[in-house]
């Protein structure tokens, strides 16, 4: 049986901040990077919450905003343990992912499952970046013998994995249910309104083509309002060929 391997980086050798200054500098640079990223998320998450329509998605984003604020404070504790001043270094990766998320919101319609799915996709990209970052930093802290720091980073890593799992659950269930609800709503609209108009069409006497044109026009208006033009046009054409032969 193949042994399962972790995707998180492993460092085989033990070191110390004093004996490995270059490694320590790399670690500190990574902490500054993720510190900027978390502070950036504190500003962007409220926008994502406002743009979402699913109640569960809104709640998940709002809850994670509070978690993110805690993670910022936790990183400040890391700086304190390292004897360093809390300082952020611009994270180009997080900035790019955030811009992509904003682009999804701008390019999708308000109150649609499509936008919610797009927000989930963008949010999971954020989580995956954070999981990779905290996973690597946690292992690096262990390698440097910074056990207290490693414990703090491991705590945040667990939170990010939990957030990612929750987003997956919402994507598989909530967003799908919204899509089914939208289809069901359109379907009910078609069945009730369009079928009643088709019944009227069936009772129009032969030799009244103008009346049929008027009824057909009203039918198309109903179909358009329901958003199912092609489906219902096919239904009308199959069941009422005479509508298209008005000579």
Domain extent listing, the chain = 21-172, 183-244
Q: Cβ neighbours of residue 119 under 8 Å, at least 6 residues apart?
A: 48, 51, 52, 57, 61, 101, 104, 105
Across 116-224, where does the E strand assignment appear? Answer: none
Percent of the chain with pLDDT over 90: 55
pLDDT averaged over every residue in the chain? 76
In this prediction, residue 193 carries a pLDDT of 41
DSSP result, 68-82: HHHHHHHHHHHHHHH
In this prediction, residue 51 carries a pLDDT of 96
In this prediction, residue 15 carries a pLDDT of 58
Identify which has the larger pLDDT, 88 or 204: 88
In this prediction, residue 72 carries a pLDDT of 98
Residue whose C-alpha is closest to residue 148's, from 229, 72, 77, 225: 77
Is the pLDDT at 55 greater than 60? The verdict is yes
- The DSSP symbol for 243 reads G
Pick the CATH number of 21-172 from 1.10.540.10, 1.20.1260.10, 3.40.50.720, 1.10.290.10: 1.20.1260.10
In this prediction, residue 175 carries a pLDDT of 52
Give per-residue pLDDT as tens, 35-53: 999 999 999 999 999 999 9
Model pTM? 0.67
For residue 112, name the pLDDT band (cuts at 50, 70, 90): confident
Give per-residue pLDDT as tens, 122-178: 999 999 999 999 999 999 999 999 999 999 999 999 999 999 999 998 887 765 555
């Amino acid at each position: 049986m193949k042994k399962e391997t972790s995707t998180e980086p492993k460092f085989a050798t033990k070191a110390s901040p004093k004996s490995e200054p270059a490694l320590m500098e790399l670690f500190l640079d990574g902490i500054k990077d993720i510190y900027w990223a978390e502070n950036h998320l504190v500003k962007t998450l409220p926008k994502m919450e406002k743009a979402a329509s699913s109640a569960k998605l809104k709640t998940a984003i709002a809850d994670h905003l509070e978690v993110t604020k805690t993670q910022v404070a936790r990183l400040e504790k890391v700086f304190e343990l390292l004897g360093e001043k809390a300082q952020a270094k611009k994270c180009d990766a997080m900035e790019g992912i955030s811009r992509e998320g904003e682009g999804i919101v701008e390019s999708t319609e308000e109150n649609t499952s499509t936008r919610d799915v797009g927000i989930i996709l963008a949010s999971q990209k954020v989580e995956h970046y954070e999981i990779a970052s905290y996973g690597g930093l946690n292992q690096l802290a262990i390698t440097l013998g910074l056990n207290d720091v490693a414990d703090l980073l491991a705590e945040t890593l667990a939170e990010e994995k939990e957030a990612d799992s929750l987003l997956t659950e919402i994507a598989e269930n909530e967003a799908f249910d919204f899509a089914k609800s939208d289809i069901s709503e359109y379907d009910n609209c078609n069945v009730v309104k369009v079928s009643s108009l088709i019944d009227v069409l069936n009772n129009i006497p032969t030799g009244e083509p103008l009346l049929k044109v008027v009824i057909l026009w009203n039918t198309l208006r109903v179909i358009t309002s329901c958003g199912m033009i092609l489906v219902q046009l096919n239904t009308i054409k199959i069941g009422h060929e005479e509508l298209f032969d008005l000579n």
